[in-house]
Amino acid sequence: MTAYSSTRPPHKDVALTSLSASELAHRIAEGRISSQEVIEAHIRRIEAVNPHLNAVVVSLFEQARAEARQADSLLTQGASVGPLHGVPITLKEQFMVSGTATTVGIHHQQSRLMEYDGPLVKRLRKAGAIPLGKTNVSQLLMYHESDNPVYGRTNNPWNLDRTPGGSSGGEAAIIAAGGSPLGLGGDFGGSIRVPAHFSGLYSLLPTARRLTHHDTAPHAYVGGQEGIIAQPAPIARSVEDLRLAMSVLAAPGLNEIDPLVPPVLWPDPAAVSLSGLRIGMYTDNGVFSVAPAVRRAVEEAAQALRARGAIVESWNPPNVAEAVRLYVGLVGADGFATYKRNLAGDPRDRRISFNMRVSSLPGIVRGPLVGLLKQSGQAHMASSLQSIRGALSVDQYWQLVQERNQYRERFLAALTASQFDALLCPPHALPALTHGSSGTLNPTNAGSYAILYNLLGLPAGVAPITRVHPGEESERNVGKDSVERVARTVEMGSAGLPVGVQVVARPWREDIVLALMAALEEHTGPCLPVSGDALLS
């Protein structure tokens, strides 16, 4: 296993870059440390690890230094300050930050600089946060790795031969390595939860429409696509930091900026009692089997929650294969015409090119090809191909949306029938993928544990629980299926990698998600940055 190495930083830097955003804010406000020394420590950390990780792709160091001086001056003057005053953060490259490009991996967007901050970035700045830079993504935010033709590939600090996930993988990598305590990513198909799982972090996908997506540059998403609602989402090394970030991001008044955001008050996780809370648990969604360590993580989390008074029972989600079909159909309903237009002749990532080619196959070809794949033992590839329908007519799209609505009703009805307040399940079938394997292990198979909750629009968080133990990497019988073979390759050699669990609740009940994650955090202990000098085993 290859971990990054770096020159040993000063002891004080290690202490500062190991602290949570909440603790940094507390110490800065009390005058125990200055924002300037905090910012400098994190800049030095980024400069030490980023050559190995390629996580921060747009640096804002000089601007951050100036803002830190101003933050310290305000405190000296006794001014009233925000809850993140003087605290460094990082932002996913998809977000609009004044004076920076938002390329999402598209070459011709490199020269187009944003003229203003997005509304969520403004909220973070108003709360006192100081952006250190923007972090790497997958091209067009489309796959569970973070590499693209503009910025290249981001590596996982736990193992440089593996990806930190995507599309918010740059955020995950730099936070896991101690270069930033808190970041803002996004989630359209597991894009914040998968990186948190791969990188040993905490993350939260809010309820659909909880937050505005006006921070995302127009060319970075399909504007008229409302079958799946993307959400900005925080990622950090502590649950308290997620709560703090969401108290800023989801504060009242967001609906005045974006009328599509309902004026639903942000709930207080502290008011949630775990005693008697009913939780449904599953470790297999019927689409793709999980690695042994992933299954063990869910079982360990269930035991920890039972010890806190929660009632955890086994449960099977309704027909996840149907949910995958609906998700893929909705995402590709335009036949990827918008993505083709946004790329405008630029180099395309091979995974995007493959999806575009497959979506353009006529039904008369796709049907027999699916049959051939099934006959040759390629069940997962056949299922993926069957889900991609290509461009839909208006009538077909409306029918698909109605099917999504009906599936969501059945899913919530099943939760009600079992009287469950929340769910506990895997965030992904595998630990961190080897570079390049996301083209085979995609959201329709190994990633299906995450995309289900994008389809449903439910709040979902990820909490790190354990690491893969030596000797438990794989028990997969691959047969002829090439997808299963790649999965086994990923599992082998995964000892030492972090493994998380996913916590899901009903709409607008992020408080339950965060309360359960906080209980799991108490069980596992603090989440510290990956050491730059350690070879993990």
* Residues 245, 506: Cα–Cα separation, whole Å: 21
Cα angle, residue 178 at apex, residues 174 and 184 outer, rounded to 5°: 50
* Residues 156, 163: Cα–Cα separation, whole Å: 5
| Closest-CA residue to 442 (of 194, 260, 159) | 194
φ and ψ at residue 523, rounded to 5 degrees: -70, -40
- For 261, the enclosing helix (H) or strand (E) is none
Q: How many CA atoms lie within 13 A of 363 on its CB side?
A: 4
Which residue pairs from 378-384 have beta carbons closer than 8 angstroms and sit at least 24 positions apart in sequence? 378/480, 378/481, 378/482, 378/483, 379/481, 380/288, 380/445, 380/481, 380/482, 380/483, 380/484, 381/481, 381/482, 381/483, 383/321, 383/324, 383/444, 383/445, 384/328, 384/442, 384/444, 384/445
Query: 100 to each of 58, 59, 147, 179, 314, how far by Cα in Å?
Result: 8, 9, 19, 20, 48
The b/e string for 275-288 (b: 16+ C-beta within 10 A; e otherwise) is eebebbbbbbbebb
Torsion of Cα atoms, 44 then 46 then 51 then 54, to 10°: -170
Residues with active-site annotation: 92, 167, 191
* Residues 385, 359: Cα–Cα separation, whole Å: 9
